[in-house]
Amino acid sequence: MKKIILMATAAIALLSFSSCKSQKLLSEATSVADPAAEVTEVAPIQYNATLKPAPEAPVVQANDRTEQISVVDAGDSGKLKSFNVIVGSFGTKSNAENQKSKMVSRGYNAFLVQNTSGMYRVVAGSFDTREAATAVRDIIRSTYSSEQGTCAEAWLLIPMQ
């Protein structure tokens, strides 16, 4: 036991001494720039107003879900945005289409997406901002609170890039 403690102490001492690097004193440091030396002016950076910053990836919050999804009908491909209100999830396409038709008849621009596991998600609305999606989700939840398993449990889906 004493041998192990002695070896550990020696190893710590060896590491502490070997990791130190010498530091130069201020007097040994390179000289300070001469204030009388010539200064070269640099032209200011020109800002190009046509350039836009790259959009940031949506921040995923605790109750959000993220999945790799694709739009089922090619005509709906332009509808998918960063925040999607899901009002149903089905293993069969016909059940998903029934829920989609119900939402369309209620005035929503609903469409179907499918994840990599083969589940069909009914999107009641797709939005660029979390605020807009959350507002619609909350309206759907309160308006259709008696519908078990669909609208009453609406949630946000953020597509994985």
Give the domain CATH number at 107: 3.30.70.1070
pTM of the entire structure? 0.62
User: Mean pLDDT of all residues in the chain?
Assistant: 79
**Full domain range(s) for residue 103:** 74-159
Highest mean pLDDT among 10-19, 51-60, 94-103, 143-152: 94-103
To 5 degrees, how large is the angle CA 79–CA 87–CA 74?
A: 30
Distance between CA atoms of 6 and 1, rounded to whole angstroms? 9
107 found inside a domain: yes
26 found inside a domain: no
151 burial class (0-12, 13-18, 19+ CB within 10 angstroms)?
buried
159 pLDDT above the threshold of 90: yes
Mean pLDDT for the stretch of residues 3-14: 61
Q: How many domains does the chain have?
A: 1
> What is residue 15's predicted lDDT score, i.e. its pLDDT?
53
121 found inside a domain: yes
> What is residue 161's predicted lDDT score, i.e. its pLDDT?
72
69 found inside a domain: no
118 found inside a domain: yes
> What is residue 63's predicted lDDT score, i.e. its pLDDT?
74
